[in-house]
Structure 1
């Protein structure tokens, strides 16, 4: 984990092993993982209501069958769900642009 954190160091990136009491100083909050943090759907709703001007990115652990760990209601409380079913491929579903898909590591071609 430390190697991964070191590889993305930036003065505006703060990594913590726990959820801070006050999220007001942050613009974007990544929770990796919701499962590890022991959060429930109501906990995420409270965070979004308390900090409506923040962007929350919730990351879930996956089961061996490919679904996320946790209650199904998590999926119904978000605007966008992005699954990474295999390395390098992202599939998007949700309220906006249903069914989008992209290769994450494609290198753009220069004309």
Structure 2
């Protein structure tokens, strides 16, 4: 293949300026990009054979570097094969309420009124996940209630069956987001009560966690604002696959569910049953 030269006089002034600047600073990548553009849109500017005083610019293999980079990013949508093993249905009434979870960047946001039963609901979720095949270790950060509190032992005995209790490990503090990251690397499920109690936490950390540990389920309580949104910003609610609000009296309402949209099901936390219409 003969080496192609560029006659920049045949190019638009803007492209001439790009070529001149790239040549001056010896930006090989930019020169290759310009050559690809010229071959596609301005073939008359190409010359065969060497030109005195003009540096040769070879076309990058595979076309423009930009196109090559995108080629590793995009995939044909009809080539995606669904892995049925990642889609899980939880048992019992709480499973009927949640409908389905997917072991693929899954995060659940739980918020609600004071004393409505958020921690109770979290313990019920932990019990449900304990039944899932492949879930062997569950890490619980109890940052609102002391880990050795009577409240914790009472909820453990009331909501987590003995067979699943051996899977659950509890911590009473998290020094930073790094503590949560280390736990996410070790546990199949990470439950947090509550996210706002983690020192130095930022709202964007929530999404970073689920992206960094796609095989870990995150079940997270957020403190609520007076407007009824997650304290510290609503970014977490956009990123989560499910958002549940618990009203006073223990009525759980599914406000968002990517796996069962449009279905208005309510759950009675204190009696652990679906509320029939």
- TM bucket normalised to smaller: 0.7 to 0.9
Question: Could you tell me which residue of structure 2 aligns to residue 97 of structure 1?
Answer: 261
Q: Distance in 1 between matches of 2:207 and 2:272?
A: 37
Is 2:151 the partner of 1:13? no
Aligned residues, how many? 108
| Residues 1:50 and 2:197 aligned together | no
Offset from partner CA, 1:50-70 (integer Å, 9 cap, x none): 211010012101234533311
1:1-111 map, 5 Å: 1=145, 2-7=149-154, 8=156, 10-16=165-171, 17-18=173-174, 19-20=179-180, 21-38=182-199, 39-94=201-256, 95=258, 96-98=260-262, 99-106=264-271
Larger helix share, 1 or 2: 2
For residues 93 and 66 of structure 1, the distance between their equivalents in structure 2, rounded to whole angstroms, comes to 11
Structure 1 residue 42, shift from structure 2 partner = 2.1
Q: 1:73 to 1:57 in 2, by over 3 A?
A: same
- RMSD over aligned CA atoms reads 2.2
Gaps of 5+ in 1: none
CA distance in 1, matches of 2:166, 2:152: 12
Query: SS of 1:53's equivalent?
Result: coil
Classify 1:107/1:30 alpha carbon distance in 2 versus 1 (closer, same or farther; 3 Å). closer
Which 5+ residue runs of structure 2 have no aligned equivalent?
A: 1-144, 158-164
TM-score with structure 1 setting the length: 0.79
Q: Which has the larger radius of gyration?
A: 2
Give the Cα–Cα distance (whole angstroms) in 2 for the partners of residues 87 and 15 of structure 1. Answer: 27
CA contact (8 A) 1:66 1:85 kept: no
Q: Structure 1 pair 29/22, CA: closer, same or farther in 2 (3 Å)?
A: closer
Please identify which structure carries the higher strand content: 1
